[in-house]
Amino acid sequence: MMRRVVPDVVSNQDLLTLPKTATVEQAAMCMAERHVRSVLVVDSDKLVGVFTGTDLIERVIAVGKGPQATVLAEVMSTSLETIAPDRPAIEALRMMQEGGFRHLPVVQNSKLVAVLSRRDFIREEEDEIDLEEKLWEEM
């Protein structure tokens, strides 16, 4: 089985970052323009949150907030898990599966370098996770 590390999964990304003061409307427009489902929220080049399509639905639209007046700092996810770029790709996938999230920022020396998405992984890594879960259930 091929063992990949995080840089093998993501490379040459043009990350979509916005300041925490950007509005939800601005974030949604950028996401649509770039055909992505998340925005990395930064403050002075430091990652402080992630805003996703799910956040847009659950934290803005469903609760009646106006996207023009709501800033990302109010509705972004702030309990972030990150991974270093030298870690195995399977570890990143495992973190996402166990945490129930679809995006995982890659950070090196406090600097944001990439973001992983569940869609970045090949079937082989997903099969390995499934096999691990079955083994644990049988124990």
Q: How confident is the model at residue 58 (pLDDT cuts 50, 70, 90)?
A: very high
- Please provide residue 59's backbone torsions phi and psi, each rounded to the nearest 5 degrees: -100, -10
What six digits make up the tokens of 61? 């639209």
Give pLDDT, residue 1.
43
More confident: 121 or 27: 27
Domains of the chain: 15-80 (3.10.580.10)
> What predicted TM-score, i.e. pTM, was given to this entire model?
0.72
Share of the chain above pLDDT 70, in %: 78
pLDDT of residue 89: 82
CB 90 within 8 A of CB 67: no
Q: Which residues pair with 40 in a beta bridge?
A: 17, 50
Q: How many angstroms separate the CA atoms of 72 and 39, rounded?
A: 10
74-100, pLDDT tens digit by residue? 999 998 899 998 888 888 888 988 888
Q: Which residues pair with 77 in a beta bridge?
A: 50
Rg from Cα positions in the chain: 16
What secondary structure does DSSP assign to 85-139, as a single string?
A: TTSBHHHHHHHHHHHT-SEEEEEETTEEEEEEEGGGS-HHHHHHHHHHHHHHHH-
Residue 133 has pLDDT above 80, yes or no: no
Q: What is the pLDDT of residues 15-33, one digit of tens each?
A: 899 999 999 999 999 999 9
Backbone angles phi, psi at 35, to 5 degrees: 60, 45
Q: Residue 102: which pLDDT band, with cuts at 50, 70 and 90? A: confident
